[in-house]
Amino acid sequence: MLTGKRVVFVEKGVVKVEDFQVKEPGPKEVLVKSISTLISSGTEGAFLMALPNTPQTFPQYPGYSNAGMIESVGSEVKWLSRGERVVSWANHASHALTVAEGLFKIPESLSFDEASFFALASISLQGIRRAEIELGDSVAIIGQGLVGQLALQLAKLSGATPLIAIDLVDGRLEISKKSGADFTINPKKQDLENEVRSVTEGRGANVVVEATGNPEAIPIAFKISSANGRVVLLGSPRGWSNINFYPEVHRKAILVIGAHNSMRPKFESYHGHWTEKDDVGLLLKLMSQGRLDVKRLIGNKVSYKEAPEVYRQAIGKGSLGIILDWTG
């Protein structure tokens, strides 16, 4: 039996790479040899550090952004074959055994590294779709980590104007400018509420997307929203928020929208909703066409063997795209 390697959170704050036995695919399964997997430092960091609203049990096997090549297919899988390039929601591991229906083919022009962004792009698109952005809506996105950066580009494609990027790290805001932000604001250096009002003709943003997962950012999202605005909770909040609902939400008639990825249908649509399958297919096309640019979001690429040190350096430090290389 083949022995593979995988990343494991052994206990709170402890990351290792361990051996595991790779199984042969069942009738409806596919075995994929991983090439590139993308670390989601926000979510994975929260799980590693056992923050609120995470399982807080160990061991855990992190990751959900896997790009690789098919090694073998189950007897009932007729539409996929060995050697095809695919992405899946599999973990950080040298080999991924997954249900065939959950795989998506990578367009020829797209690299494995770029394709590995599909999962976070899909999560971001869920938030943008639920915001129901119309051409001319002013949109402010709080947090310019990977999810916020992807949401910014997708909001731009949806017709947002002006598009406002908000973050505490100037380097991230520089990337946001290149990705199409009309205005960037660093709340450490500028009065956030006044700056948002000044670029939205005094009204506040029609749509505010909270993409940090920091519960302290949610009251801020309400403050910079316009009357009758929409506030989308795209980042998963890791704790409690203190909010006076009368002045911040009720009086302004703000619509608060949850956007957890699990609430979108995977394969079968209901009431005309876009499915995860629809969105991933679309996003891979947009990336291959250069309309969704993820190259500038790649911060570092390292061997999977360096995973323990990479997590130690990345968690809580505002890192952008870190890719684990499984080819060595």
Tell me the CA distances in angstroms from 312 to 297, 316, 322, one per residue in order.
20, 9, 12
Q: What local confidence, expressed as pLDDT, does residue 271 receive?
A: 56
Q: What local confidence, expressed as pLDDT, does residue 1 receive?
A: 75
Contact 110, 284 (CB under 8 A): yes
Q: State which residues of the chain have pLDDT below 50.
A: none
Q: Which two tokens stand for residue 119?
A: 């999962």
Tell me if residue 315 falls in helix, strand or coil.
coil
Does an H or E element contain 149, and which?
helix 146-157
Q: Which two tokens stand for residue 272?
A: 């005309």
Model pTM score: 0.95
Residue 136 is classified by DSSP as: T
Q: Which domains does the chain have, with CATH numbers?
A: 3-117+294-325 (3.90.180.10), 123-263 (3.40.50.720)
Q: What local confidence, expressed as pLDDT, does residue 73 receive?
A: 97
CB-side neighbour CA atoms (13 Å) of 79: 9
Residue 303 is classified by DSSP as: E
Contact 133, 160 (CB under 8 A): yes
Q: Which two tokens stand for residue 179?
A: 């990705």
> Cα dihedral sign for 294, 154, 260, 247?
positive
Q: What local confidence, expressed as pLDDT, does residue 128 receive?
A: 96
Q: Which two tokens stand for residue 6?
A: 């995988």
Does an H or E element contain 311, and which?
helix 307-314
Q: Which two tokens stand for residue 303?
A: 């061997």
Tell me if residue 60 falls in helix, strand or coil.
strand
Query: What residues contact 85, with CB distance under 8 A and at least 6 apart?
Result: 67, 68, 69, 105, 106, 112, 115
Contact 324, 92 (CB under 8 A): yes
Pairing of strands 139-142, 163-166: parallel
